[in-house]
Structure 1
Amino acid sequence: MAIQIDFRSDTVTKPTAGMLEAMMSAKVGDDVFGEDETVNRLEHKLAALFNMEAGLFCPSGTMSNQIAIKCFTQPMDEVICDQTAHVYRYEGGGIAYHSMASVRLLNGSRGILTPELIEPEINEANIHYPNSSLVVLENTVNKGGGACYSLAQIEPIHTLCNIKGLKLHLDGARIFNALIRTGDAARDYGKYFDGISVCLSKGLGAPVGSVLLGSAETITKAVKIRKAFGGGMRQAGFLAAAGIYTLDHHIDRLSADHHHAQALAGALGKVSYVFSVMPVDTNIVLFEVAEGFKAGSIVRQLAEKGIACNTTGPKTIRMVTHLDISSEMIDMAIENIIHLHPSVHK
């Protein structure tokens, strides 16, 4: 059966009619020359929204994260992050490849770090140790089932980094989901982070792109690194226009995705083939299958019903809600989840 309901990721969305119209009518120029006014407008819009000095439009969140890490480290430095962090697990070994830095992995609760976890792992000055130079947080935490930081949790980490002389970067892959969940204001983030990567192609629904935010000095450095990474796009305003559109139209509706995710979690918590469901804070549902069942088998059987999702391990499955998932689709998915009877040991 063809896919009818796609929970694999919030990256699978298609541009809406309004977004396509905005893209096709965008005023463009050569962005490498700094002449694409739509790109410039997107960068300025997000920088102002997060109360930071400047922004840089990049093709992906992976690129914007890796540019930031290179800006904030030197070879033989060390990056501190959670062991589930996207910058460590899912960016192709980019920290080692691009920045020649080592990584100190911590075990946060659902990927959420605290000053108490971080401080003991900051190296003292010693020729035997790498220089601890950067802490990276992820908001929301993908492997943590969409767990998110509040500003009250971020502030003491910022204070610690400031005292110890470390930079602080935010992988804001789903930052607007976190803002909807916590009620915090985007403008308050700027005073806590040296860099923020804001992804536009996940819950917000743009087809491409992420914007790195930072000081004017950081972004000047980042422009050259982006060029060296091959990320210097030309008439990129067609893509940037989608980003502007989604910022204007798709932020508030993220609460619907959160509601849909909670509904899925409620249904999954009632069926015999699910052992446990991770708490749902935003739009990601992670669950563990019960003893005797295999995650891959359940994913295949759901696919036969037209429902696509992914395994994240032999016993775990992920579902992600997004712009292209309607309430009717959620009802249909729940009906199939409840009436699915997977065989044990298959």
Structure 2
Amino acid sequence: MIDLRSDTLTRPTAAMRAAIAAAEVGDEQRGEDPTVNALLRRVCELTGKEAALFLPGGTMANNIAVAVHARSGEAVLAHHDAHLIRSESAGPVVLARVLIDALDGADGHFTPEDVTRRAARGTLYEPRTALLCVEQTHNFAGGTIWPLHELQAVTDAARDAGLAIHMDGARLLNAVVAAGTPASDYCALVDSVWLCFTKGLGAPIGAVLAGDADFIERARALKHMVGGALRQAGIAAAACVYALDHHVERLAEDHAHARRLADGLLELGLDVHTPDPQTNMVFFSADHGDFLGALERRGVRIGPVGDRLRAVTHLDVDTSDIDHAIAVVGDVLSSAPEGAHGQRYEYG
């Protein structure tokens, strides 16, 4: 099965499994796990941040960051297609009791003027805006990258409005590899950032949230509150350290595979929404009533995202897999019954 539903479907390589098995461990909650501590130092060096915190996953990282930066009853600005809004089960609303104010804009981006216009000082009727959230890369916009100069402009506007700034950096290293911009340059513009190790980096578990020491101290308390404290977490952190050593530069292969896939789908006459993918995602539409089922019966899985389809390249997919997937899509399209109609897809 060639599984293109998400880069979260990667499996640890044999070498990563060996690193997991050999990990030196201790009690993470007490700060005594040497492998976790080594990972945190690596992420601080990578992002230029003072302190960091190991977490089971990225949704917890986003929710904790919002709760640290914004008080109950305050407002948070984010793009309307942000993962924070679309895929985190209202976590910031439940945990932090904040209002999420959605910004519009193409490619998952918005302008400095949008930030300035929507940032509120707070009145009897309107909550004070406390935080701006940006996403790098932007998932539901197609793995798009915030160029450094555009990110600088919107964060400058946020600073002028008195907002804290948080970056959902789930796929930050995809942006780093694709754009050639160091992670620390992006992260210097924000107060907090987290990295996911379970997507293109191929680890089975783990995210790291980074910021200044005071932010991480408050985040650690919230981590404990929501049940995120861990024990011998070095077995997970070892996979993340291995990924930083071996799986970052190879993200360029995923990006090349996405471009190859997009070209192939275009040649088949499909409506490709990301004809020149910036990173590892290809969004497209197919006018076939049972397109996903027909693909899966032929050994290819592609994921639904609203009324579009999303194919994500990753560690477990090589060039021959991409070529085979294109061929299967062509076979499915050629065998579509006359008069087949498009289907609206929802999250599955």
TM-score (norm 1): 0.95
Query: Structure 1, residues 169-226: CA drift from partner, whole Å, max 9, x if none?
Result: 0001111111111110112233211110111100110100110000011001111000
State the shift of 1:278 in Å: 2.0
Query: Aligned residues: percent identity?
Result: 37
Q: Does 1:207 align with 2:208?
A: no
1:305 aligns with 298
SS at 2:133's partner residue? strand
CA distance in 2, matches of 1:276, 1:15: 31
Gaps of 5+ in 1: none
Aligned residue runs from structure 1 range 93-132, under 5 A: 93-132=90-129
Deviation of residue 338 (structure 1)? 2.5
Q: Is the contact between residue 148 and residue 281 of structure 1 (CA under 8 Å) also seen in structure 2?
A: yes
Q: Which residue of 293, 309, 313 corresponds with 1:317?
A: 309
Corresponding residue number in structure 1 for 2:160: 163
Cα distance between partner residues in 2 of 1:101 and 1:220:
21
Q: Say if 2:121 and 2:127, in contact at 8 Å, map to a contact too.
A: no
User: Any residues of structure 2 matched to 1:27-46 within 5 Å, and which?
Assistant: 27-46=24-43
Aligned mates of 2:138, 2:123 — CA distance in 1 = 32
User: Residues 248-276 of structure 1, C-alpha deviation per residue, up to 9 Å, x if partnerless?
Assistant: 1000000110010111111111224x233
1:332 deviates by: 1.0
Are 1:338 and 2:301 matched, yes or no? Answer: no
Structure-2 separation of matches of 1:167 and 1:310: 34
Mean Cα deviation higher: 115-124 or 225-234: 115-124
Name the CA distance, whole Å, in 1 between partners of 2:242 and 2:340.
Answer: 48
Say whether residues 1:191 and 2:188 are aligned partners.
Answer: yes
Task: State yes or no: 1:58 paired with 2:58.
Answer: no
What RMSD in Å do the two structures reach over aligned CA positions?
Answer: 1.2
Q: Does 1:69 align with 2:62?
A: no
Greater Cα offset, 276-285 or 68-77: 276-285
Following the alignment from structure 2 to structure 1, what is the Cα–Cα distance between the partners of residues 75 and 273?
34
Contact 1:147–1:281 (CA under 8 A) maintained in structure 2: yes
Checking the alignment, whether the CA contact within 8 Å between 1:113 and 1:137 is kept in structure 2 is no
Counterpart-to-counterpart distance in 2, 1:36 and 1:104 = 39
**Alpha-carbon separation, structure 1, partners of 2:119 and 2:22:** 50
* 1:9-37 per-position Cα deviation (integer Å, ceiling 9, x unaligned): 10111101111111111110001111001
Asked whether the 8 Å contact 1:195–1:214 carries over to 2, the reply is yes
SS at match of 1:251: coil
Task: Give the match for residue 272 of structure 2.
Answer: 276
SS at match of 2:108: coil
1:152, 1:172 → 2: CA distance?
17
Once residues 9 and 190 of structure 1 are traced to their aligned partners in structure 2, the CA distance between those partners, rounded to angstroms, is: 25
Q: Secondary structure at the match of 1:34?
A: coil
Q: Taking structure 2 as the reference length, what is the TM-score of the superposition? A: 0.94
Which residue number corresponds to residue 10 of structure 1?
7
Q: How far, CA to CA, are the matches of 1:31 and 1:80 in structure 2?
A: 33
Q: What is the CA distance between 1:124 and its match in structure 2?
A: 3.2
Question: For 2:235, what is the secondary structure of its paired residue?
Answer: helix
Deviations 1:111-163 (A, max 9, x none): 11221222111113322111100010111111101111121111112211211
Partners in 1 of 2:142 and 2:295 — Cα distance? 20
